[in-house]
Amino acid sequence: MGKEAFNLREMTSDDVDAAVAIDKKCFGKRDAWRRKYFLAAVMNINSAYLVAEVEGKVVACAGAKIRNEEAEIETFAVDPDYHGLGIGTQLFSKLIDTIKERGAAFVYLEVRPGNTPAIKLYEHFGFRALVNIENYYSNGDALVMMRDL
């Protein structure tokens, strides 16, 4: 697959089914977000959810909940067929910019300790590991990472 042009934009309710499919492809049925969670997030004024499209097809999604000066990145997934094209990096960068514009002073997220590619990306964006939470996911721990904005 070549270097496709992609578009980043705000997620709408029309994108929810595509986001669910990407999440399942990335995280498996057990850990993927359900449709109702994506739909609620897209409709929540305190959320910032984005998608990346290639030729009109949603290939990645990312979102955060923003509460006053605090933001939590709730989901970030790139269809594995589109890894290595810079889509995830650009989408994550735009999400961080959006969170900053909305007034958050810091942002945090949870990631599986074994998800080295994601951890490297987050570290590239200035996130640092805070604590490991045992049994956070249905079948494993979570590493909490944070950065100031």
pLDDT of residue 29: 83
What span, in angstroms and rounded, lies between the C-alpha atoms of 103 and 18? 29
- pLDDT range class, residue 32, cuts 50, 70, 90: confident
- Its pTM stands at 0.91
CATH of domain 7-105: 3.40.630.30
pLDDT in tens, 54-90: 999 999 999 999 999 999 999 999 999 999 999 999 9
Give pLDDT, residue 50: 98
**pLDDT tens-digit series, residues 102-144:** 999 999 999 999 999 999 999 999 999 999 989 887 778 999 9
Q: For the chain, what are the domain ranges? A: 7-105
Helix locations, 1-149, DSSP H:
16-31, 35-43, 87-101, 116-124
